[in-house]
Amino acid sequence: MIGFFIKKAFFDGWDNLLHIVVLNVLILTVAFGGFFIAGFTAEIVPLSMALLFVTVMIEGVFLLAISSMMAKIVDYRSFTFRDFISEIGKIWKHGALFGALIAVLAFVFSVTLPYYLSLGNMIGFALAMLLFWVGIILLLSLQWFLPIRSQLDDNFMKCIKKSFIIFFDNSLFSIFMLIYSLVLFVLSLFLVMLVPGFTGILLAHNEAFRLRMYKYDWMEKNTDLDPVKARKSIPWEELLEDDEDTVGHRSFKSFIFPWKD
């Protein structure tokens, strides 16, 4: 399943390269604009912090709208920028809430972790380690929020709950996705965050989530099987057969000169 996921994510990313670049430029523009204004007002700390908070909320709106567009791509559909603008009108509340949640969590962890470590005793170290692992679990779980909201549910709290369910039920795969995302992020740094960037990472997460849902569809159709044994014997080749046929095989030449294929 992982091999096909990487293949499909690359193919879809290549086919929608222009969209990815443009959407990444949008994300970067908002980020740099917000941080520039916040830095310009740095002497007024409350105002600067408020501007940073609003910037993260706006980014949350754009990231959720972009995730919705990536969900279309992974489902073999296309989108226009008019669709993107229309989607913002539908999801802005949840996007802003998600951005606010990330901002609050980042602030809490950035303040409490150094504080506990600065205590210089075993209790402080233990609390810091506990907080660290809580942060890791939150990171591994909340990485699923955007694709869940884009593909599965439009209830904010249910999406949060399902994010944790997906992580705990697919812990190794969630760790793989976090590492995969970090690799894409490092690669993006060399390409000025234009490709694959945050849009490419969201594409990958939507790909992964869509394919992972096949597991639950199959288990719902095979309720007579023992749940523990069923989870260990998911017939991925059978479940991915239609997608394999749709995606097909491409030569290197077809990537560079698709009109000659």
pLDDT band at 92 (very low <50, low <70, confident <90, very high): very high
Q: For residues 93-99, give the mean pLDDT.
A: 98
Tell me, what's the pLDDT at 11? 93
pLDDT in the model for residue 2 = 94
**What pTM does this model have?**
0.95
pLDDT on residue 7? 93
Tell me what the mean pLDDT of segment 13-17 comes to. 94
Find out whether 51 and 78 touch, Cβ atoms under 8 Å. Answer: no
Residue 87, token pair as written in the block: 């989607």
The residue type found at 104 is V
In Å, the largest CA–CA distance within the chain is 67
- Give the confidence band of 70 by pLDDT, cuts at 50, 70, 90: very high
Beta-carbon count within 10 A of 78 CB: 11
185 by Cβ neighbours in 10 Å (0-12 / 13-18 / 19+) ranks as middle
pLDDT at 226: 80
* First-to-final CA distance of the chain: 27
Task: Tell me the pLDDT tens digit for each residue of 211-232.
Answer: 999 999 999 888 888 877 778 8
At 235 the three-state DSSP class reads: coil
